């Protein structure tokens, strides 16, 4: 089993990509927010500078330069604290009133850096305009805004660090969870590969894409499990069922080897040959069943009349039955009975049913082939009035090597009806056994042509 | 006749060669598909017996290649592949007959005889005759010593096959394949039943019997026995 390193894990990669995107997005949002806040604060400082300026400007309009000076001086505390700067200068640059001498300030808003003044380390927002011939400059400390900006930046920084940390932890957790889930899937798949075919991949109730995949894979594993157990069953059956004829062959050949006369020897060899023929027949029948079971469904399917096939086989077997002192009849007069299927295999199906009836009925028995059809199905029935099969054994007669006679001394491989079942299954036909009181009724019900054609997507011609 | 045997299993090969030679045939035995291809292209054999699973070139490929090189010699597949479709596959590749292993040697001989002496397809006859039996294939009537014998369709087919292979043994499986179209072996003795009916009509009323049973092998129609 190959373990993927955490760095190569698809889940980790995905989490990393998502985190990078997330951090990028959060940075963009932060920058945008920072700019908005700064803009807003700047506007507020501007408007309070303007407010101070207008106060003095309106005093000037009412009382001229003296009025303006008076208004400036009335702001005593502010003047001392130097939170607000005032400077009213005459055209020659001499300060008439105010707390700080400010010259060469350009009209409109500007910023006063600490380096441009003496004894103050504060930033100021200035507004400067003409009052008559004099120049009035008002300034408000900008430090609050600066501090606030710093706080905001630090905050944003922290936020980004927190986002990255949460993202990192989240992606590690997610990747680890995904990894452990996939690891458990891999472990189970490996176990199945090692032959523990009964194991299944874990499926959570969430039914996400991994669960759907696991469900599908489980279905495939189940089929594999079934066919492997079928194979094991067949192997065991072969080992068990062929042992008897092989033993008989062995004994017959031993007899031949120890024979005292040429005739006795020939007898032993012929007996061995007969047993070998039986063994070969069993192999052939088994192989046929397995191949039919493994066959692709529509491979050799064509439309044909079951009635015609049945008549042909009746024709062959009528005399065989007669010679064996049984009576064979057929009822297939309301044809045609068209089905879609493999002619050769359906022929063998009917032959096997007939052979079975001939073999398991006493002389004097009646055997009937009956074919009927309705709108949806064509039924092929072989009925006899022999001893029948106890209904509790109906389910088992199609098992490989099943024989009513447990001593297995009767002729036949015990595979005839298994082959019937394999052929019926290939045709999606239903097998039904019933009690004929006395006797056995075996019915194979094929889907009618139109239905089957629909089912297999074949156009009837 | 001259037979080319392509079989990689030494024991089986030796056995077949010995058997065929005791019947008076000449056998060339090869174990590799490619060697067999070269030998087959000589066109010096009367019939080819080919195993399907051989080294070099598979039996199926060998037959296909020979046929595409217009080699028309009769070919019989001798194969352990006995599946439903294996036979069809073999015949579709261009073989004339398909015999499944294990096989009875008499079965192989009967089939090789039928293959090698098969009349050319162009030689279509309307009438067959063996001894005093006459068969009209168009009118589908049979007479023996001038007397009309009424046969059922399947009895007619049986007799036709026997007459076409006059003097040669036809095995039960050959009948099953050719007359009944059964590619499987039913347990019941359907051949015995039908042959005995045919015999009752064609042989019993007459002084000389022509339809003979060859024990454990099959049946032969022979006027001279």
CA distance A451 to B216: 48
To the nearest whole number, what is the mean pLDDT of chain B?
89
User: Is the pLDDT assigned to residue B173 strictly greater than 70?
Assistant: yes
Sign of the CA dihedral with A425 first, then A429, A432, and A433 last: negative
Note which residues in 344-383 of chain A have CB less than 8 A from chain B. 344-345, 347-348, 351, 355, 358-359
ipTM > 0.95 for the complex? no
B83–A320 C-beta distance less than 8 A = no
Substitution target from A302, A320, A358 for chain B, most B beta carbons within 10 A: A320
The answer to whether residue B84 neighbours chain A at the CB level (below 8 Å) is: yes
Q: Taking CB atoms and an 8 Å cutoff, what residues of chain B touch A356?
A: none
B180–A284 C-beta distance less than 8 A = no
**Which has the higher per-residue pLDDT, A380 or B225?**
A380
Q: Which range is most confident: A169-173, A239-243, A283-287, B156-160?
A: B156-160
B128 pairs with which residues across the strands?
B135
User: Is the pLDDT assigned to residue B126 strictly greater than 90?
Assistant: no
User: Is the pLDDT assigned to residue A411 strictly greater than 60?
Assistant: no
The answer to whether residue A341 neighbours chain B at the CB level (below 8 Å) is: no
A130 pairs with which residues across the strands?
A135
Q: For the residues A253-257, what does the mean pLDDT come to?
A: 92
- The pLDDT tens digits for A196-240 are 888 888 888 888 888 898 898 898 888 888 888 877 877 887 777
A288–B185 C-beta distance less than 8 A = no
B184–A348 C-beta distance less than 8 A = yes
Distance (Å) from the C-alpha of residue A324 to the closest C-alpha of chain B? 10
Listed as own residue / partner, the contacts of B30-38 with beta carbons closer than 8 Å and 24 or more positions apart are: B30/B4, B30/B5, B30/B6, B31/B6, B31/B7, B31/B55, B32/B8, B32/B56, B32/B57, B33/B6, B33/B57, B33/B58, B33/B59, B33/B61, B33/B62, B36/B4, B36/B6, B36/B62, B37/B62, B37/B65, B37/B66
Residues, chain A: 461
Minimal Cα distance from B177: which residue of A? A344
CA distance to A57, B15, B36, B41, per residue, from B29 (Å): 129, 11, 9, 15
Structure confidence at residue A79 (pLDDT): 60
Assign A461 a pLDDT band (cuts: 50, 70, 90). Answer: very low
- The pLDDT tens digits for B54-66 are 988 899 999 999 9
Q: For the residues B137-154, what does the mean pLDDT come to?
A: 91
**Which has the higher per-residue pLDDT, A318 or A132?**
A318
**Which has the higher per-residue pLDDT, A93 or A435?**
A435
Mutual angle of helices A416-426 and A262-294, in 10-degree steps: 20
User: Is the pLDDT assigned to residue A403 strictly greater than 80?
Assistant: no
Structure confidence at residue A285 (pLDDT): 82
Structure confidence at residue B163 (pLDDT): 92
Note which residues in 170-189 of chain B have CB less than 8 A from chain A. 180-189
Assign A21 a pLDDT band (cuts: 50, 70, 90). Answer: confident
Proportion of chain B above pLDDT 90, given as a percent: 56
To the nearest whole number, what is the mean pLDDT of chain A?
83
**Which has the higher per-residue pLDDT, B105 or A453?**
B105
Structure confidence at residue A3 (pLDDT): 56
Rounded to 5°, the CA angle A22-A25-A31 comes to 140
User: Is the pLDDT assigned to residue B75 strictly greater than 90?
Assistant: yes
């Amino acid at each position: 089993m190959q373990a993927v390193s955490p760095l190569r894990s698809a889940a980790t990669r995905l989490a990393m990509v998502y985190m990078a995107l997330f951090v990028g997005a959060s940075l963009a949002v932060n920058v945008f927010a920072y700019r908005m806040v700064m803009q807003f604060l700047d506007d507020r400082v501007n408007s309070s500078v303007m407010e101070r300026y207008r106060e003095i400007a309106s005093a000037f309009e009412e009382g001229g330069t003296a009025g303006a000076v008076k208004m400036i001086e009335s702001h005593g505390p502010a003047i001392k604290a130097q939170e607000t700067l005032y400077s009213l200068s005459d055209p020659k640059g001499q300060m008439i009133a105010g707390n700080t001498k400010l010259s060469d300030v350009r009209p409109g808003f500007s910023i006063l850096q600490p380096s441009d003044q003496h004894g103050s380390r504060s930033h100021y927002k200035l507004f400067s305009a003409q009052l008559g011939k004099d120049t009035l400059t008002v300034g408000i400390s900008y430090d609050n805004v600066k501090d606030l900006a710093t706080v905001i930046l630090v905050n944003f920084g922290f936020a980004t660090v927190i986002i990255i940390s949460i993202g990192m932890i989240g992606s590690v957790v997610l990747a680890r969870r995904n990894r452990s889930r996939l690891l458990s899937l891999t472990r189970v798949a490996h176990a199945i590969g090692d032959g523990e075919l009964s194991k299944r991949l874990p499926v959570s109730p969430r039914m996400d894409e991994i669960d759907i995949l696991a469900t599908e894979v489980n279905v495939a594993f189940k089929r594999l499990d079934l066919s492997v157990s079928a194979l094991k069953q067949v192997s065991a059956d072969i080992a068990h069922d062929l042992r008897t004829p092989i033993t008989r062959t062995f004994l017959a050949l031993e007899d031949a080897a120890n024979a005292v006369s040429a005739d006795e020897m020939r007898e032993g060899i012929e007996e061995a040959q007969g047993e070998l023929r039986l063994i070969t027949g069993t192999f052939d029948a088994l192989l046929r069943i397995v191949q039919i079971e493994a066959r692709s469904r529509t491979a050799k399917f064509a439309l044909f009349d079951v009635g015609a096939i049945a008549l042909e086989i009746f024709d062959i077997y009528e005399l065989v039955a007669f010679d064996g002192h049984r009576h064979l009849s057929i009822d297939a007069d309301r044809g045609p009975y068209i089905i879609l299927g493999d002619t050769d295999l359906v022929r063998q199906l009917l032959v096997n049913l007939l052979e079975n009836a001939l073999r398991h009925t006493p002389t004097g028995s009646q055997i009937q082939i009956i074919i009927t059809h309705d709108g949806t199905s064509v039924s092929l029935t072989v009925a006899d009035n022999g001893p029948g099969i106890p209904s509790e054994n109906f389910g088992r007669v199609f098992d490989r090597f099943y024989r009513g006679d447990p001593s297995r001394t009767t002729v036949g491989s015990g595979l005839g009806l298994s082959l019937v079942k394999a052929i019926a299954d290939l045709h999606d036909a239903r097998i039904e056994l019933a009690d004929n009181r006395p006797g056995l009724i075996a019915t194979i019900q094929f889907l009618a042509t139109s239905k089957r054609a629909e089912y297999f997507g074949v156009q009837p011609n | 006749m001259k037979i080319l045997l392509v079989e990689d299993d030494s024991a089986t090969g030796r056995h077949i060669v010995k058997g065929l030679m005791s019947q008076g045939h000449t056998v060339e035995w090869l174990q590799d598909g490619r060697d067999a291809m070269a030998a087959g292209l000589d066109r010096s054999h009367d019939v080819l017996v080919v195993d399907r699973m051989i080294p070099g070139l598979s039996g199926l490929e060998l037959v296909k290649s020979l046929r595409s090189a217009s080699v028309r010699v009769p070919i019989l597949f001798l194969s352990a592949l006995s599946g439903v479709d294996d036979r069809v596959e073999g015949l579709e590749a261009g073989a004339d007959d398909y015999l499944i292993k294990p096989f009875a040697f008499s079965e192989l001989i009967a089939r090789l005889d039928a293959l090698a002496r098969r009349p050319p397809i162009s030689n279509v006859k309307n009438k067959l005759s063996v001894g005093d039996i006459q068969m009209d294939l168009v009118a589908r009537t049979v007479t023996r010593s001038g007397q009309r014998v009424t046969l059922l369709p399947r009895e007619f087919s049986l007799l036709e096959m026997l007459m076409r292979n006059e003097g040669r043994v036809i095995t039960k499986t050959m009948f099953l394949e050719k007359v009944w179209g059964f590619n499987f072996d039913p347990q019941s003795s359907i051949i015995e039943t039908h042959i005995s009916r045919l015999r009752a009509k064609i042989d019993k009323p007459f002084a000389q019997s022509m339809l003979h049973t060859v024990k454990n092998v099959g049946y032969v129609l022979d006027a001279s026995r």
